[in-house]
A and B are shown apart, each in its own frame.
Chain A
Amino acid sequence: MEVVFQLLLSGISQGCVYGLIALGFVLIYKATEMVNFAQGEIMMLGAFFAFTFISILELNFFLAVAATIVSMAICGALLERVVLRPMIGEPPFSVLMLTIGLGFLLRAIAGAVWGSEPKSLSAPYTGGVFNVSGVIIGYENLVIIAGTALLCSLLFVFFKFSRLGIAMQAASQNQLAAYYVGIPVKRIYSMVWALSAAISAVAGILVAPVSLIDPLMGFIGIKAFAAAIVGGFGSLPGAIVGGLIIGIVEQFASLYLPPGFSDVTAYVILLLMLLIRPEGIFATMQRKKV
């Protein structure tokens, strides 16, 4: 029984990380109809920024977290302005390829700046554990879960009630109509990228203490992508739910199935989902009617 709870807990915390990165995907997709394949690399960059602020500059932890989030938001906006702004109105395939190229580029840049050796990041809460009747709960996992929950509620409020959030939704539904009603669509796009990069930075900070930081860590972005699709691409709660499903199933697969299966569970779930219900759990797609 303890094993089940233990797996469930680590599954949820892993799933939260997937969910957060998936949230970044979905935000950008929802607002700009672009699919950002470099989201995992942006998270990797966030983790490296956090490493720089905490371990190299030795800032106070909370200050460092704030600095990471702000600098990643600026990076996100810059990326949008320099690389993706010229692509507005181009076919989705071009944007997809562009972000794939961007991912390679970011990985090479991170390798050049910080080197390819894995680095570990220690947060003030690292190492502490609760022991609840045999189930060991690491503080890091708790922080991941709590951080995700907090971030999600903040986002929910933002999109539901703030003018900016509603403007973002409008820009995502119809670019042209949004222009007509006076929404500065281009500026909104930059802000969406900033927001998405900031969320990925949070994901990076949360995941850094439980895994190592290296230029290749961005590959979990692909699993997060699967999570976003399982949840229904374009749905914010769906991203988190999809992430949780994949995180939990993966943990159980690693214990109960032969080796090798846990690496592919995310993709098997994805393919099954696409076969059974291609629009995802929280469907936002509709077949185009003429």
Chain B
Amino acid sequence: MRFIRKTSYGQDIQLFKHRGQVFWYGLLLATVFGLPFFIDSFYVGELSMVFIYAIAGTGLMLLVGYTGLVSLGHAAFLAIGAYTHAYLMTHGWPLLPSIISATLFTSLIGGLVGIPALRMTGIYLAVATLAFAIIIEQVLTHWVSVTGGFRGMPVPLPQLFGVDIHDALSFYFFCLAILIICLLLALNLLRSPTGRAMRAIRDSEISAQSMGIHLAYTKTLAFAISAGFTGLAGCLLAHKIGYLAPDGFTLLISIQLLILVVVGGLGSLHGVIYGAFFIGFLPQAIALMRDYLPTKISQIPGLEPGIFGLILVLFLIYEPLGIYGRWLKIRHYFEEFPLYRKATHQRQKSYLRTERLR
């Protein structure tokens, strides 16, 4: 077990808490940069998909895990990012300006959605975002002149400073670079006053407000930032799938992103990565599993969402802190090894009191 002796306040907000972390994160970085040269190009493609999920997940985590606002409509932001980017690209914009504009546009929309959301809490907000997502889905279907309607629209191939980056390997590095930038941005945000204000709102709105945090401003900002990250993921997703159609951005995607956040571990950026791997590779695992199951079971319609649902239910009941929470517990067990007490991680229960009048 490691005890850190703090000698300055600056240490509290350092990115790396101690040398060990520098070493392990460095090793991780070297691994992700070296890995694609040793694995099959199919898995390189899958990994870049995982990175895209992780970028969108970072956005949702900032909202759900750190600000405590629930959104059931993040597929809409993904779609807005993807379509804006594809639209700009088809009109001759270069890659980076197009991605940046699409991201900013998505966060603008996110802020606009966030404004009415300020008056709502919990479930109302969830449903409002759900309604927003369904409306956006219909807009994508019916605004044929921009989105191509049901036929969809092709996405131009990505070119960075005149170099094609649509092959699996270079696209992998492009996604990886953007993911790392996003994670650093999120980390920086979280250690800034704004990030701490967001966490204060998550823990108690009333006490946050009494300490002088501007609720409306912080919540709108959280929404805008979250939407921006998700829109950025949408831009990459557009290149990844190559052809946009409204049925790629359904309610199921929003819920998958929420599953990512919950299964990974609410309130941790590590959780985003674990969750992204979970979401990215579970369909592969199910597909592999299908070969070994009797046809009667493997042919069930909706098997994949069903398994997603089952895993979500099991996680929420048995490990509400997700994969990251489980990892913390395992690590704690070994750190304390002979002295580990079972009650350390007992969950607190609370009694609910309603805010209703009748």
Interface residues of A (CB under 8 A from B): 30, 33, 35, 83, 86-90, 92-94, 96-98, 100-105, 107-109, 111-112, 115-116, 172-176, 215, 222, 225-226, 229, 233-235, 259-260, 263-264, 266-268, 270-271, 274-275, 278, 283-288, 290
Contacts and interface: CB of A to CB of B under 8 A. Distances in A.
Interface stretch (B94-102, B178-186, B333-341, B345-353): B345-353
B317 A98 contact: yes
Contacts of A88: 349
A271 to B, nearest CB: 5
B310 A278 contact: no
B356 A234 contact: yes
A92 B122 contact: yes
Interface in B249-268: 255, 258-259, 262
The 5 closest A-B pairs by CB, nearest first: A108-B306, A104-B309, A101-B312, A267-B131, A89-B349
Contacts of A270: 127-128, 131
A172 B309 CA distance: 28
B74 to A, nearest CB: 14
Interface stretch (B23-31, B79-87, B134-142, B190-198): B134-142
B354 to A, nearest CB: 6
Q: Which of B64, B135, B313, B349 has the most CB of A within 10 A?
A: B313
B243 interface: no
Interface stretch (B35-43, B152-160, B295-303): B295-303
Contacts of A288: 206, 355
A174 B354 contact: yes
B241 interface: no
Select the residue from A88, A96, A234 with max chain B CB neighbours within 10 A.
Answer: A96
Contacts of B310: 101, 104-105
Contact of B301 (A104, A111, A234, A260): A111
Contacts, number: 161
Given A271-B131, A284-B357, A260 B316 contact: no
B116 interface: yes
B349 A108 contact: no
B317 A285 contact: no
A105 B306 contact: yes
Given A93-B70, A286-B357, A290-B206, A233 B123 contact: yes
A205 to B, nearest CB: 23
B124 A229 contact: yes
A105 B309 contact: yes
A93 B138 CA distance: 27
Contacts of B122: 92-93
Interface in B108-140: 116, 119-120, 122-124, 126-128, 130-132, 134-135, 138
Contacts of A275: 116
Given A278-B119, A286-B357, A101 B316 contact: yes
Interface of B: 64, 68, 70, 116, 119-120, 122-124, 126-128, 130-132, 134-135, 138, 141-142, 206, 210, 255, 258-259, 262, 297, 300-303, 305-313, 316-317, 320, 349-358
Given A88-B349, A284-B356, A271 B128 contact: yes
Given A89-B350, A116-B301, A226 B70 contact: no
Contacts of A225: 127
Contact of B355 (A83, A222, A285): A285
Contact of A173 (B64, B124, B349, B356): B356
A101 B308 CA distance: 7
Contacts of A89: 349-352
B135 A97 contact: no
A107 B306 CA distance: 7
B162 to A, nearest CB: 41
Nearest to B311: A101
Contact of A175 (B297, B301, B353): B353
13 contacts: A89-B350, A93-B70, A97-B259, A108-B306, A116-B301, A174-B354, A233-B124, A235-B358, A271-B132, A274-B116, A284-B358, A285-B355, A290-B210
Contacts of A268: 131, 135
A33 B206 CA distance: 20
Q: Looking at B308, B355, B357, B358, which has the most chain A CB atoms within 10 Å of its CB?
A: B358
Contact of A96 (B70, B349, B352): B70
A259 B141 CA distance: 11
B317 A87 contact: yes
Contacts of A278: 119-120, 124
